[in-house]
């Protein structure tokens, strides 16, 4: 399973405990996402805001894609979800293509 961290480059700041570099969150460009197939459109509700991982698990069989879906939709924080008229859940194929494409 891939996550958003797989498409981020290593940053310059390291962890004081194990000296591993933190990922550079700005290195992943979610604006480059393209849809080759129509997305599954969800109207945000309280359930989506409360448990977005359940929607991702139902659609992708992977709960951890919620942050990628929100970034693609420009949802900066889960508390802002109610400000959006709809959320596009890309197809699994489009999501896999995006995760396999270098983002820098």
**What is the residue extent of each domain of the chain?**
4-100
Structure tokens at 47: 């359930």
pLDDT at 84: 92
Partners of 84 in the β-ladder: none
The Cα–Cα gap between 65 and 21 comes to 23
pLDDT at 94: 94
* Helix or strand run (H / E) with residue 11: strand 9-14
CA distance between the termini of the chain: 21
Q: Render each residue's pLDDT in the chain as its tens digit; 104 residues.
A: 666 666 666 666 666 777 776 655 666 777 888 999 999 999 999 888 889 889 899 999 988 888 889 989 999 888 888 899 999 999 999 998 888 876 65
- 3-state DSSP call for residue 42? strand
């Amino acid at each position: 399973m891939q996550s958003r961290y797989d498409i981020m480059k290593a940053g310059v700041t390291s962890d004081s405990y194990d000296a591993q570099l933190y990922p550079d969150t700005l290195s992943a460009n979610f604006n480059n996402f393209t849809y080759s197939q129509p997305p599954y459109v969800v109207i945000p509700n309280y359930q989506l805001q409360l448990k977005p991982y359940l929607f991702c698990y139902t659609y992708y069989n992977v709960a951890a894609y919620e942050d990628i879906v929100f970034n693609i939709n420009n949802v900066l924080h889960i508390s802002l979800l109610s400000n959006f008229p709809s959320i596009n859940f890309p197809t699994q194929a489009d999501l896999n293509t995006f995760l396999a494409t270098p983002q820098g």
